[in-house]
Amino acid sequence: MQHDRAGAAESGNRYPLKSASLPPIPTSTLGSHAPLGWLLTAMDAIRRGEYGERDIDETLTDAVDVAVLDQQRAGLDVIVDGEMRRQDFVLGFYERLGVEPLPLPRRLGPEGHDQRGKWLVTGPLKAIDGLGIVEEYRYLLAITDRPTKATVPGPFTLAGRLELNGHYVDRFDAAYALAEIVNAECKALVAAGADFIQIDEPSMAVYPDRPRDLVALFNHTVAGVGAKIATHMCFGNYRGRPVAWRSYASLFPHLGDFNADQFNLEFANRELAELELWQEYGGDKELGAGLIDVKNYRCETPKEVAERVRVALRYVAPDKLWVVPDCGWSQTARWATVRKLRAMVEGVAIVRRELMG
């Protein structure tokens, strides 16, 4: 295994993302890497005003380097930048949208979803300087030879934290305005060299009651984007807590209508529930099966991961299956993140050897 990994790392040239150039059952991760202890200390100092602009840039750049290094050492096939320049997945984007932070309704007691701030819309939503993801992605390309994926927050999820203040009729209306911004960012990513873009729409799994409207919004968001498109839909992970009825059953009949090539969904934390539905609804889509539980500090062994992959292969064709964690790692300690990523890669390697006979 060690030898295989070294071989992959030495293969040199950045190969374009084509299934032929990736091993069977590719592995990747969903966006955020684990928080780094020293980065949290640095962020406190930054908030106290102790860092200059260049100090901040150096610190965040170092954090991205560490996130990429952790993934490469674990042996992931497709690398992300770890979203180290973002706070709590989407917080950093609101500052770019010209909306104003509202006071938290609850500040005391156990941390949870009702402590996530909302933002007041004060005019038409726009991001004059974009969302900043293109700059993140350019840096990622500069530091890794491996295939990469850009991760972009979806408009429906972004709209969920907005207090519309009479500027938009409802969440969908605001989401369509944000879809223009996200679409422009995706096209700029493609121009910068991105061939694989993941649109993060956890809220679509949390609020699945208007599936046809969700499909139309998603397709509008990715219209004309010339890249392989993935999406991630989950049931929430803020402070390691879900925020939804944890079922994809109402979304699954509509999967074929989404202009997405790949769905990255949460299964490990639900003891692989609903994986069997993929057989009925997956069609020609790829499944990025979440087989690693980011909320559970019990670390999977490679053998356990291999067994989960075998279960997934009962319902998903081998050439349509990717293996990923349930969600990003922003709420998981780094030691557990690294251990789980390694188990994921080693578990998949066991099954690859079986497949190749």
Residue 42 interacts with Zn ion (CB under 5 A): yes or no = no
Binding residues for Zn ion restricted to 113-142, rule: CB under 5 A = none
Residue number, 234 or 338, with CB nearest to Zn ion = 234
Return the range that interacts with Zn ion (CB under 5 A); candidates 1-9, 10-18, 247-255, 326-334.
326-334
Decide the pairing of beta strands 196-200 and 228-233: parallel
Residue 230 interacts with Zn ion (CB under 5 A): yes or no = no
In 3D space, the residue among 147, 33, 136 whose CA is nearest the CA of residue 89 turns out to be 33
Residue number, 75 or 202, with CB nearest to Zn ion = 202
Residue number, 238 or 315, with CB nearest to Zn ion = 238
Residue 324 interacts with Zn ion (CB under 5 A): yes or no = no
Angle, helices 133-143/171-191, rounded to nearest 10 degrees: 30
Smallest gap from Cβ 208 to Zn ion, in A, equals 15
Residue number, 234 or 309, with CB nearest to Zn ion = 234
Residue number, 215 or 234, with CB nearest to Zn ion = 234
Smallest gap from Cβ 142 to Zn ion, in A, equals 27
Q: Which residue has the tokens 């609903």?
A: 274
Element (H, E) at 316: none
Query: How far is Cα 136 from Cα 143, in angstroms, rounded to an integer?
Result: 11
Query: How far is Cα 187 from Cα 348, in angstroms, rounded to an integer?
Result: 33
Return the range that interacts with Zn ion (CB under 5 A); candidates 54-62, 83-91, 228-236, 343-351.
228-236
- CB–CB of 50/217 below 8 Å? no
Q: How far is C-alpha 52 from the geometric centre of its chain's CA atoms?
A: 30
Backbone angles phi, psi at 166, to 5 degrees: 80, -5
DSSP 47-67: HTT-S-HHHHHHHHHHHHHHH
Binding residues for Zn ion restricted to 173-202, rule: CB under 5 A = 202
Residue 234 interacts with Zn ion (CB under 5 A): yes or no = yes
Residue number, 147 or 202, with CB nearest to Zn ion = 202
Smallest gap from Cβ 355 to Zn ion, in A, equals 28
Smallest gap from Cβ 237 to Zn ion, in A, equals 5
**Residue 49 region, left (φ>0) first, then alpha (ψ -120 to 50), else beta?**
left
Interface with Zn ion: number of residues (CB under 5 A): 3
Residue number, 260 or 327, with CB nearest to Zn ion = 327
- CB–CB of 234/266 below 8 Å? yes
Smallest gap from Cβ 30 to Zn ion, in A, equals 6
Smallest gap from Cβ 198 to Zn ion, in A, equals 11
Residue number, 34 or 177, with CB nearest to Zn ion = 34
Query: How far is Cα 189 from Cα 209, in angstroms, rounded to an integer?
Result: 31
In 3D space, the residue among 313, 258, 322 whose CA is nearest the CA of residue 286 turns out to be 322
Return the range that interacts with Zn ion (CB under 5 A); candidates 6-14, 39-47, 232-240, 339-347.
232-240
Edge-first strand order for the sheet with 100-101 is 100-101, 119-120, 162-163
Residue 327 interacts with Zn ion (CB under 5 A): yes or no = yes
Query: How far is Cα 135 from Cα 39, in angstroms, rounded to an integer?
Result: 20
The residue ranges that bind Zn ion (CB under 5 A) are 202, 234, 327
